[in-house]
């Protein structure tokens, strides 16, 4: 069965530039200690599953096309939805130390056999009439683990040299994250669950319902290179930000704008301590903030005590605002995450949208200080922008330049809360809001708001970038 149409290969609108010189970033290969891996993006179509129940659910399976570079071996096949442009890849690996350590077991070996996991056609008659999808699990020798599955369009077992198994000490266990698709055999009705595995990118885990009590043992590669040589250096990070850095565009009606952290501190922000009625002005560089440790609820940051200055600081200062960037390895050092943080002195109330009318929820949702962020995930193989994670704020993100790059800020080591806990009288807030509308509309709004979770009747002081899960 051929694809419904040739999948368009996804490419960015601008070519990848020549990056400044470095160690391993953008070189096309990544060393994982005793293994070297490359990304294979030239893929050959194998088979497509099309759901009979969900007409728009189509998922295609691919393998590397043609010969791999010398000494490199495939570890498993790839699949993705037909609704997206083809942008996937499979990893191919080679042993870096086999010739140097003859007495040690090689890092890569052929499987001893293939075990059938699932097929779209279960009857011999169906198999002989037309092609289908056949899924195979490589059976590794003792001391080795399988990294991926093999898919064929005929019931004949794959050749043993189709993939390689990896020595167990070079792998680690991965876990299932979410089901991508559930394929059902046309003849027997036996389902096949295809999972996305956590922390290993695009590899897939397959499991039938018959094997539900015993998970199929699929591993992921472990990066033993503690130096993370494929990560970009400072010059390369500057180049990445210049090439992919976003432009932030704010809604014209936005009242509470961002500022720099130093502007916020310099305009009267105070440090509060539990049990101490006297607050302390924060130094412009944040040097008098508690450093390190954890959020023990003992300290928090608040707006200035003076009402007029408090109102002024709430509105922020766009001219001083900066994007603070946190650089960190992802997926075992094969990707780099550029996490862009923007600071707000105050987060305004939530908005209820009624048709074309936006209604402010007065106090609900507002809190002192807010750190919003989005992440650009960069492939360390090539320096290509691979994905964007955007938080739900009123920003449009375009990859064309940036305002600034900061290497570090003192306040980043402040692990406590960036604002006091705010508690609302939810009944009073709901009644005040409902009274702004005609009775029939107001009653409906009040009914909806009373069903909101109790957590919305108050706001804990938000934590800083290092305490957030990003």
Residues 195 and 250 in one domain: no
Is 335 in the same domain as 386?
yes
**pLDDT of 450:** 60
Return the minimum-mean-pLDDT range out of 55-64, 114-123, 237-246, 363-372: 363-372
Assess contact for 352 and 399: CB atoms under 8 A: no
Residue 50 belongs to some domain of the structure: yes
Read off the pLDDT band of 388 (50, 70, 90).
Answer: confident
Say if residue 95's pLDDT is above 70: yes
**CB contact at 8 A, 108 and 127:** no
Residues 63 and 146 both lie in one domain? yes
> Looking at the domain assignment, is residue 381 inside a domain?
yes
Do 55 and 155 have their domain in common? yes
Supply the range of the domain harboring residue 436: 234-467
Contact 10, 85 (CB under 8 A): yes
Residue 379 shares a structural domain with residue 246: yes
Q: Are residues 136 and 175 in the same domain?
A: yes
Position 185 in a domain:
yes
Q: Does residue 29 sit within a domain?
A: no
Same domain, 352 and 454: yes
Residues 300 and 198 in one domain: no
**Confidence (pLDDT) at 249:** 87
The number of distinct structural domains making up the chain is: 2
- Average confidence (pLDDT) over 361-373: 77
**pTM (2 decimals)?**
0.79
Please identify, among 189, 221, 253, the residue that sits at the C-terminal boundary of a domain: 221
Same domain for 91 and 52: yes
Query: Over 60: is that where the pLDDT of 268 sits?
Result: yes
Mean pLDDT lowest for which of 338-342, 425-429, 455-459? 455-459
CA 288-290-291 angle, to 5 degrees, is 110
Question: How many beta carbons lie within 10 A of that of residue 271, not counting itself?
Answer: 21
Phi-psi category of 260—alpha, beta or left, where left has phi over 0 and alpha has psi -120 to 50? beta
216 & 240 share domain: no
Q: Which of 163, 192, 221 finishes a domain?
A: 221
Task: Report whether pLDDT(315) > 60.
Answer: yes
Whether 10 is covered by a domain: the verdict is no
Q: What is the pLDDT of residue 137?
A: 94
Digit-coded pLDDT (tens) for 35-85: 999 999 999 999 998 876 766 778 899 999 999 999 999 999 999 888 888
- Name the residue among 78, 57, 82 with its Cα closest to residue 184: 57
- Domain ends where: 174, 191, 221? 221
- Say what the pLDDT of residue 168 is: 94
Has residue 15 been placed in a domain?
A: no
Same domain, 265 and 385: yes
Residue 318, pLDDT > 60, answer yes
Find the range with the poorest average confidence among 78-87, 270-279, 355-364, 390-399. Answer: 390-399
Who's near 427: CB < 8 A, 6+ residues apart? Answer: none
What Å distances lie between residue 197 and 205, 273, 303, CA to CA?
7, 43, 44
The answer to whether residue 12 sits within a structural domain is no
Q: For residue 275, is it within any domain? A: yes
Q: In terms of domains, do 287 and 162 share one?
A: no
Strands (E), 348-463: 351-354, 357-360, 367-379, 385-390, 396-399, 422-423, 458-459
**Digit-coded pLDDT (tens) for 156-198:** 999 999 999 999 999 998 877 677 777 777 666 677 777 777 6
């Amino acid at each position: 069965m051929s694809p419904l149409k040739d999948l368009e290969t996804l490419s960015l609108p601008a070519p990848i530039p020549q990056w400044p010189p470095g160690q391993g970033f953008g070189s096309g290969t990544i060393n994982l200690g005793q293994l070297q891996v490359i990304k294979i993006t030239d893929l050959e179509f194998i088979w497509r599953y099309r759901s009979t129940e969900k007409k728009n659910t189509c998922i295609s399976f691919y393998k590397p096309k043609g010969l791999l570079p010398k000494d490199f071996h495939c570890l498993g096949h790839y699949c993705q939805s037909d609704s997206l442009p083809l942008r996937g890849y499979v990893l191919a690996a080679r042993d870096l130390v086999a010739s140097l350590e003859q007495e040690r077991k090689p890092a890569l070996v052929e499987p001893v056999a293939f075990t059938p996991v699932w097929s779209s056609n279960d009857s011999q008659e169906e198999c002989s009439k037309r092609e289908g999808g056949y899924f195979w699990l490589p059976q590794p020798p003792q001391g080795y683990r399988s990294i991926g599955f093999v898919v064929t369009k005929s019931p004949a077992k794959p050749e043993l040299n189709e993939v390689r198994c990896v020595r167990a000490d070079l792998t680690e266990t991965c876990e299932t994250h979410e089901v991508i698709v559930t394929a059902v055999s046309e003849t027997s009705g036996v389902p096949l669950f295809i999972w996305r595995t956590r922390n290993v990118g695009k590899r897939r885990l397959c499991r039938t319902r018959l094997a539900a009590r015993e998970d199929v043992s699929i591993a992921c590669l472990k990066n033993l290179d503690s130096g993370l040589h494929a990560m970009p250096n400072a010059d390369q990070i500057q180049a990445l930000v210049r090439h992919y850095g976003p432009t932030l565009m704010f809604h014209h009606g936005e009242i509470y704008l961002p500022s720099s952290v130093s502007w916020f501190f310099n305009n009267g922000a105070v440090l509060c301590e539990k049990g101490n009625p006297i607050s302390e002005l924060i130094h412009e560089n944040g040097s008098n903030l508690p450093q390190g440790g954890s959020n023990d609820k003992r300290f928090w940051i608040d707006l200035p005590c003076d009402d007029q200055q408090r109102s002024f600081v709430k509105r922020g200062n766009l001219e001083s605002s900066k994007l603070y960037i946190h650089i960190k390895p992802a997926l075992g050092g094969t990707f780099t995450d550029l996490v862009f943080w923007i600071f707000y002195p105050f987060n305004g109330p939530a908005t209820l949208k009624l048709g074309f009318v936006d209604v402010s929820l007065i106090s609900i949702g507002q809190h002192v200080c807010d750190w919003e962020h989005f992440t650009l995930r960069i492939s360390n193989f090539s320096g290509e922008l691979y994905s964007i994670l955007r938080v739900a704020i009123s920003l449009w993100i375009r990859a064309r330049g940036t305002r600034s790059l900061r290497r570090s800020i003192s306040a980043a080591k402040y692990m406590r809360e960036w604002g006091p806990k705010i508690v609302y009288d939810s009944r009073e807030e709901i009644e005040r809001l409902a009274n702004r509308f005609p009775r029939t509309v107001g009653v409906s709004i009040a009914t909806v708001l009373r069903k909101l979770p109790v957590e919305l009747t108050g706001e804990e002081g938000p934590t800083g970038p290092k305490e957030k899960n990003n």
